[in-house]
Amino acid sequence: MPLSPSHPLIDGRTTQAPLIRAYRGDRPERTPVWFMRQAGRSLPEYRELRAGGDMLQACLTPELASEITLQPVRRHGVDAGIFFSDIVVPVLLAGVDVRIEAGRGPVIDAPIRSASDVLRLRPIDPDALAPVREAVALTVAELGSTPLIGFAGAPFTLAAYLVEGGPSKDQLRTRALMHSDPHTWAALLNWCADVTGEFLRAQVEAGASAAQLFDSWIGSVSQRDYLRRVAPHSRRAFDHLRGLEVPKVHFGLGTDRILTEIKGLGVDAVGIDWRLPLDEASEHLGGDVPVQGNIDPALLSAPWPTLRAHVDDVLERGRTAPAHVVNLGHGVPPETDPDVLTGIVRYVHGESQG
């Protein structure tokens, strides 16, 4: 089914937005910029709205999720909103008992580690996604010509939370399962691809103008395992967008060895973490893929001249790619001074527009 006639990419609201043009390989007059985790604890208005409330409950309250999504767009003047939600929301909506612990992340008390655990996993009921659709629709109605980016967790990263039962340093149990029981692994990743793919599709159908898959923990996987045991499932997640013509973006940490394989997923743009200079990334990608990134989040607390020199370097290296969307190399740290983010937006826009 194609995008509806009232979708912002079809009725023209976001078609010429700098972000969309850049994802499609163009160099708009204004270099687009947004920040991963721009909605969140760095903003006092977020902390006030969230005070005391449960994180996942907030994600599923449409008015609240929409308002939180809009906060950083209003404050910073970024070129995109990123939908306020979490990668484990579709897991919760499919009936898995998951919660988010502040300062830690997603926690699952009954981890999924065996064939019978995987057999018990149910598909997501399309009706369960209603609050997501509603929140996206409310947000897009407010955003006008600013595109909303929909997102989802990639199957590997989701599986890592399910198998480990929470955040982990090396994903040892996850990689052990991948090799000791390849059939269970494949079934688990297919399930992850389908719930996350449906979550992504719901956002795009409801009005998101781009779709980003986050594979935050993929850096622990070898190139060979990525190709054989992970990439087909990431492709399956994106396949849920078939027929919906929105730019597809991939972001992962520590992806320098697997950029060719990521390009092979058929994505329109690739997000790069802060460790790999964008000119090198672009070279690995064959020089024909738009890149996104990669200001080091650590430098957000540095004096402005230091940060500015770093931003200049990122912009300079980004010029070697066909197109560049400025972002951080990972999420905004909660203790970031929001004025620094606003300053980066003004600087990047000013530089690109003379």
**Do β-strands 148-153 and 81-82 pair in parallel, antiparallel, or remain unpaired?**
parallel
- Nearest distance from residue 34's CB to ligand CP3, in Å? 9
User: In degrees, to the nearest 5, what angle opens at C-alpha 267 toward C-alphas 29 and 156?
Assistant: 130
The structure tokens 């203790």 sit at 335
Q: Is 347 a catalytic residue?
A: no
24, 27, 41, 99: the catalytic one is: 41
> Dihedral of the CA atoms 344, 347, 350, 354 (nearest 10)?
-140
50, 173, 275, 319: the catalytic one is: 50
Selection from 315, 212, 334 nearest residue 270 by Cα: 212
30, 79, 113, 161: the catalytic one is: 161
Residues at the contact surface with ligand CP3, assessed by CB under 6 A: 36-41, 50, 55, 82, 84-87, 100, 102-106, 151, 167, 214, 216, 331
| Nearest CB to ligand CP3, comparing residues 115 and 172 | 172
Q: Is 24 a catalytic residue?
A: no
Amino acid at 54: D
**What is the C-alpha separation between 293 and 271, in angstroms, rounded?**
6
21, 46, 86, 113: the catalytic one is: 86
| Nearest CB to ligand CP3, comparing residues 151 and 185 | 151
- Nearest distance from residue 104's CB to ligand CP3, in Å? 6
Are 3 and 246 a contacting pair, CB within 8 Å?
Answer: yes
- Nearest distance from residue 54's CB to ligand CP3, in Å? 9
| Nearest CB to ligand CP3, comparing residues 31 and 327 | 327
Neighbouring-strand partners of residue 106: 100
| Nearest CB to ligand CP3, comparing residues 84 and 347 | 84
Are 73 and 92 a contacting pair, CB within 8 Å?
Answer: no
Neighbours of 145 (CB within 10 A): 11
Q: Rounded to whole angstroms, what are the CA distances from 338 to 16, 122, 147, 184, 315?
A: 28, 41, 21, 44, 21
Q: Is 41 a catalytic residue?
A: yes
Structural element, H or E, at residue 67: helix 62-76
- Nearest distance from residue 272's CB to ligand CP3, in Å? 13
**What is the C-alpha separation between 24 and 13, in angstroms, rounded?**
16
- Nearest distance from residue 206's CB to ligand CP3, in Å? 16
**What is the C-alpha separation between 102 and 254, in angstroms, rounded?**
25
Q: Is 161 a catalytic residue?
A: yes
- Nearest distance from residue 15's CB to ligand CP3, in Å? 24
**What is the C-alpha separation between 160 and 173, in angstroms, rounded?**
8
Structure-token pair, residue 257: 């060895």
The structure tokens 């991963």 sit at 36
Are 253 and 330 a contacting pair, CB within 8 Å?
Answer: yes
Q: Is 173 a catalytic residue?
A: no
- Nearest distance from residue 194's CB to ligand CP3, in Å? 19
Instruction: Give the catalytic positions in this structure.
Output: 37, 41, 50, 86, 161
